[in-house]
Amino acid sequence: MVKEFFRRLRPNTQMPQTLLIGGFAGVILAGTLLLLLPWSQTRGEVGLVDALFTATSAVCVTGLIVVDTSTAFTPFGQVVIVALIQIGGLGIMTFAALAYLMLGRRLSLASQAALHDAFFQRDLGIEFKKKFLQILFITAGIELAGILLIFLALLWRQTPVMDALFSAFFHSISAFCNAGFSLYKDSLIGLRDSPVIMATVMSLIVLGGLGHMVLSELLYYGKSRLSGSAPVGPRSLSSHTRVVLRMTLVLIILGCAGLFILGLTSSESTWGMKLSSALFQSVTARTAGFNTVDIGIMPLASLLLIILLMFIGGSPGSCAGGIKTTGLAITLAEFKAKLKGEDQVVLMDRRVPKPILDRTIVLIRMSILWNLLGLLLLLYTETGRPGAGFHDVLFEQISAFGTVGLSTGLTDKLTVIGRLWITATMFVGRLGPLTLAIGVLPAIHIPVKYPEGRIMIG
């Protein structure tokens, strides 16, 4: 039986999903070892579990921390963290492709398939190299613009030049990669009075959460409009891009309105502060993990809304986790079709293919099951101490799964078992439970068609 299992498992080792899983795991291991080095730590108090947790959080662009980034790690350690964020944000296969292109070598078909699944919705053929380099240029351009704006804003606040430059470098990459790591103990609470920094960080988060394919298409569309060669109207954009843009805008507006109505904290004394904080938390809640308010003292209704936003996450091909904006859109369209008794699912005047619909349903069901299992485990291991109630545990679990990084204050209080589980959840959330299942479980096809059975459902 063991031989038969491994025989069936062997073809899976060459699948793109397996390459992605192995790549992420390898970078996490390397990052853990680097963070354990003496010159990465200020006091040498970061152990193996905490280093593994931090490396996983960085590579999976989550932002949950069990030790303070600014005090526990030296500048070298902080550079390691931001490098892991950049690698995790762009994706392991991206850097593998970059290395191959620099060496003048050709990627294997499996590797190209992995990149295709991660970034694009159609076969690229000979356009692969061009599109891939375009992704790198878009990423570099957006991050450099963010660095410049944050740097100038910090200089305006009388921050020393080198401190301002490193802070701008760190936070621009962290924001675009939707990581949520910060060099400040209070995240961005101390900077929320700077409109330039807040607007820049929100813009970086939104752009990073759209996905590389959407950014590439928007760039092409903008250039074509400027040259007068692009058709006018929304139909000039692909169905995927239109769905992503619409869902992103709707979720930001609804999240902002919901948080504004339900309330944040007592520190927002004016209507302007309430609105700006609600907008920022709506943007960051789905994927980034920065905060401008104390999450731990927010009303329970607001926390539940943030949990829903974190579970949804960003968009496919981006740095975000969760079930994705497209997953939510397809689910709502399928639900609407079932209510109306229609035999096809239509989204933005386009029929959703059955394979995509099936994968979406499986993804959401697996996501729910994983989080229920995590909630049960964490309730058993973490709720015996003050400050670890049901809502804290639920918030922590969904934050890790959505690779968001927000916390009510439970992260650094987690037990060893809790930290290991959250580490695994961040890994699953970044790659997606469906990717892990396809890459790890052997494909077993049984050519048997069973007779129907009538079962009552209500």
- Which ranges of 63-160 would DSSP assign to H, the alpha helix? 69-72, 75-90, 92-102, 109-119, 128-156
The pTM assigned to this predicted structure is 0.85
Q: How far apart are CA 283 and CA 262, in angstroms?
A: 16
Burial of 284 (0-12, 13-18, 19+ CB in 10 A): buried
Q: Beta-carbon neighbour count of residue 438 at 10 Å?
A: 18
Query: φ and ψ at 294, to 5 degrees?
Result: -80, 105
Give me the residue label for tokens 């994927």: 287
Q: What is the pLDDT along the chain (458 residues), one digit of tens a residue?
A: 555 544 554 554 445 556 667 778 888 999 999 999 999 999 888 899 999 999 999 998 888 899 999 899 999 999 999 999 998 887 654 555 555 454 455 555 555 555 555 554 444 444 556 667 777 888 889 999 999 999 999 999 999 999 999 999 999 999 998 888 999 988 888 898 899 999 999 999 999 888 877 888 888 887 777 776 655 555 578 888 889 999 999 999 999 999 999 988 888 878 888 999 999 999 999 888 898 999 989 999 999 999 999 999 888 877 778 888 988 999 999 999 989 888 888 888 888 888 888 888 888 888 999 999 999 999 999 877 666 788 999 999 999 999 898 998 888 889 999 999 999 999 888 877 656 555 555 555 556 777 776 666 66
DSSP 40: G
C-beta of residue 437 within 8 angstroms of C-beta of residue 320:
no
Q: Which residues contact 201 (CB under 8 A, 6 or more apart)?
A: 146, 150, 171, 175, 188, 280, 290
Q: What is the per-residue pLDDT for 127? A: 57
Per-residue tokens: 163: 């401190």
Q: Long-range contacts made by residues 187-195, C-beta under 8 angstroms, separation at least 24? A: 187/290, 187/291, 187/292, 188/290, 188/291, 188/292, 189/291, 189/292, 189/293, 189/294, 191/292, 192/276, 192/277, 192/280, 192/292, 194/153, 194/156, 194/157
Q: What is the per-residue pLDDT for 122? A: 47
- Residue 341's SS3 state is coil
Residue 436 one-letter amino acid: L
Residue 303 one-letter amino acid: L
